[in-house]
Amino acid sequence: MKTPQHKVALITGASRGLGLSLARSLAKAGWHLIIDARSNDALENVRKELAQHTTVLAIAGDVGDAGHRQELAEAAAYLGKLDAVINNAGILGPSPLPNLLDYPLDQLTIVFQLNTLAPLAVLQTLQPYLQKNSVIINISSDAAMEAYPGWGGYGASKAALEHLSAVLAVENSHWRVYHVDPGDMRTQMHQDAFPGEDISDRPLPEASVPGLLTLLNGELASGRYRAKDLTPATVTTDHLLQK
């Protein structure tokens, strides 16, 4: 099924939170989508919703699994190309968040495998289908830049992802490669980071989507951005690019 007239995006972790919010926006804009998540039931519900607007291939699985990544590649082959990959899937790690000196190293290894290595593995597997001007968005966090107690494991994995993204951009100048801090959001992951606390004051994930759309639809240089700073009317690379 070749769809050259449509843009095609892969969104990982699309069954809830930011991934779901972005998938909804792209579906309504006519993008064809490949979406994944670990929960088959939740992903199927999303597929049924989005299929009212566009072509959606939903593949349940873990991005840390090579077999699942190959299934994503087969979906990209079916649609004929990829114009964008949004590496949104990830894990927080243990909850409550442990200090680094108490962090179980076996669990920290898993955090790095899923938050840092898996996004690279996705791109390695899918690179034959990426177009010359494809957009790569690796979802990061302010914890990659700031030292918050308890956030050392998650933050370090995202800091590594950010450096990986920066090197990918240098090595692949024909792509636009972004590492994006979406800001605080009212998501399950954020609730897990603060068990028992009221996080109703955090914005819903939908608030971060316009910034991602600006990157997908614009021509900003590769680099680090904060979603809240990105709007179609005000964005400039000199103002927003974070060194």
Single out the catalytic residue among 103, 129, 154, 178: 154
Instruction: Report the chain's mean pLDDT, rounded to a whole number.
Output: 91
The lowest-confidence range among 4-8, 46-50, 218-222 is 4-8
Residue 105 is encoded by which pair of tokens?
């190293």
Distance (Å, rounded) from C-alpha 46 to C-alpha 121? 25
Instruction: Kindly indicate the confidence band of residue 231, based on its pLDDT and cuts at 50, 70 and 90.
Output: confident
- Domains contained in the chain, CATH given: 8-240 (3.40.50.720)
pLDDT, one tens digit per residue, over 113-152 is 999 999 999 999 999 999 999 999 999 999 999 999 999 9
Phi-psi region of 4 (alpha: psi -120 to 50; beta: other; left: phi over 0): alpha
Q: What's at 65, amino acid-wise?
A: D
pLDDT at 190 over 90: no
Q: What is the dihedral of CA 127, 228, 236, 86, to 10 degrees?
A: 10
Q: Which secondary structure element, helix H or strand E, spans residue 36, and what is its range?
A: strand 32-37
Residue 73 is encoded by which pair of tokens?
């590649």
Instruction: Kindly indicate the confidence band of residue 201, based on its pLDDT and cuts at 50, 70 and 90.
Output: confident
178 is catalytic: no
pTM reported for the whole predicted model: 0.91
Instruction: Kindly indicate the confidence band of residue 228, based on its pLDDT and cuts at 50, 70 and 90.
Output: very high
